[in-house]
Amino acid sequence: MESIGVASRGIVREVLTRYNYQEWETLMKNYLRGENLWEVVESDSVFDAQRNAKALHIIQLSCAPIIFKQIKHLQTAHEAWNHLAEVCRSEVQPHIRHGVVSDNVSEHKDLYKFVKNGDWEGTSSYLRDQPNAIFWAPPSGRTVLHVATIEGHMKIVEWLVYLGKKQLVEMQDEDGNTALALAAIYGDINIAKCFVNAEGGFELLAIENKEGEIPLLLAANSGRKRMTRFLFFRTSSDVIDQQSPDNRVLLLERCIQAHIFGKQINHNTSIYTASLILFSNPQSSSPSPFQ
């Protein structure tokens, strides 16, 4: 599994994003206990400033940049931990990760089960009888294409893209995520290639979710090094240039942290090229960090 930052140092497998809190919480709690720091996190009073600083530092380092920004002003590990629990737990919904079929799927439940289980014959048979079901979505907005993407069923994804074409691949869930956006989050490059190579595929690279993030930003935020590199070189400079100055700075920051352009900035021309792309908009109010 790809990761950045402290993930490579063995504390957690992936830095904390909006999509992996449950696993992150378990691994982080075990690590803090092993370092004899968990009681510091549990306590609402700072009885040992040095241990609090160490625990807070570990928690901060284990967060993706967009998550770190939410806790960087907090002074205690207890506050940071509770804030992350409150914010990130609200992002975790049963239909988002594995276990997609739930009571929220009131119609076409058999179809969703076929797709979730990777049942190619069941899926194709159902859609032959009810072809319009391919465009149906429950309140979560997750179509069967979203589900197949989350579960990593490549054959079913390819068939759904063939049947649903541009209309299906552009459908967004309640968070504004297309299926490509989910592939970016989960790091499945083969599925991402299927979307990018489909009709209107390059247009998908420019679709923002409700947080204003395009697939490239989502991949970088999730620590998906190979996916970030793949999407960076397929997302046009025009699309990147249309991002807000903050998002362009954030993208460059994420790419550097994930070593997308190599570790040595001074001896790597690709990072210079990237900075030109990210900061070439003359209307941008944000100065280049290389000036």
**pLDDT band with cut points at 50, 70 and 90 for residue 93:** very low
Q: What pLDDT sits at residue 258?
A: 60
- Whether 17 is covered by a domain: the verdict is yes
What is the CA angle 152-153-155, rounded to 5? 140
In-domain check, residue 63: yes
Q: What is the pLDDT of residues 197-208, one digit of tens each?
A: 998 889 999 999
Residue 55 lies in a domain: yes
Judged against a pLDDT cut of 60, whether residue 2 lies above it is answered with no
Domain count, the chain: 1
Residue 291 pLDDT class (50, 70, 90 cuts): very low
Quick one: which of 81, 80, 64 has its CA closest to 20?
Answer: 64
CA distance 190 to 278: 26
Domain annotation covers residue 247:
no
N- to C-terminal Cα distance for the chain?
A: 35
Mean pLDDT of 73-101: 72
Q: Is the pLDDT of residue 28 over 80?
A: yes
C-alpha–C-alpha distance, residues 113 and 116, integer Å? 5
144-151 vs 154-169: helix crossing angle, rounded to 10: 140
Q: Is residue 61 part of a domain?
A: yes
| pLDDT on residue 107 | 83
C-alpha 217/C-alpha 202 separation (Å) is 15
Which domain, by its residues, includes 81?
5-89
* 52 has a pLDDT exceeding 60: yes
The verdict on residue 283 lying in a domain is no
Any domain includes 141 = no
pLDDT at 31: 93
pLDDT top residue among 69 and 231: 231
Residue 167 lies in a domain: no
Residue 63 DSSP class: B
CA–CA gap between residue 278 and residue 128 (Å, rounded): 46
Question: Count of CB atoms within 10 A of residue 150's CB?
Answer: 24
Length of the chain: 291
